[in-house]
């Protein structure tokens, strides 16, 4: 299994600002992903973080709003840009192990 940590665990931000969320894995992994969970909803995939190339975004998510970095096989960042109250969610990093997916503890973001 993989152990995943995220920073920050939670934050309260003002409208119009940006927040960068960090994801660190305790082992090298090929596949890393970022999900969003809006209040009362299930998880929605934002993008696949590709090492050495641009992230692959799902329909409805764009790089200008959610830029992602993946400098190596153990680390990734997700930035939520120009935030609005609709961005208030839990953001989760996940990795694909041998057969199953593992998730980080999440970052709880509130935008005022």
Partner 1 sequence: KQEVTQIPAALSVPEGENLVLNCSFTDSAIYNLQWFRQDPGKGLTSLLLIQSSQREQTSGRLNASLDKSSGRSTLYIAASQPGDSATYLCAVPNSGYSTLTFGKGTMLLVSP
Residues whose CB is less than 8 angstroms from the CB of residue 56 and which lie 6 or more positions away in sequence, other chains included? 47, 48, 50
**Shortest Cβ 94–partner 1 spacing (Å):** 8
Establish whether the linkage from the previous residue to 8 is cis, with ω within 30° of 0.
Answer: yes
**Shortest Cβ 20–partner 1 spacing (Å):** 18
Binds partner 1 by CB under 8 A, chosen from 22, 24, 48, 50: 48
Task: By CB under 8 A, name the binding residues for partner 1.
Answer: 1, 6, 31, 33, 41-43, 45, 48, 90, 92, 94, 96, 99-106, 108
């Amino acid at each position: 299994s993989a152990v995943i940590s995220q920073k920050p665990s939670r934050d309260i931000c003002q409208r119009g600002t940006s927040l960068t969320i960090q994801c660190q894995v305790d082992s090298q992994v090929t596949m890393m992903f970022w999900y969003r969970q809006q209040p009362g909803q299930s998880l929605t995939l934002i993008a696949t973080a590709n090492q050495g190339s641009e992230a692959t975004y799902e329909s409805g998510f764009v790089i200008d709003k959610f830029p992602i970095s993946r400098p190596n096989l153990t680390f990734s960042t997700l930035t939520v840009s120009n935030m609005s109250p609709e961005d208030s969610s839990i953001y989760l990093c996940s990795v694909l192990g041998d057969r199953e997916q593992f998730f980080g503890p999440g970052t709880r973001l509130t935008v005022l």
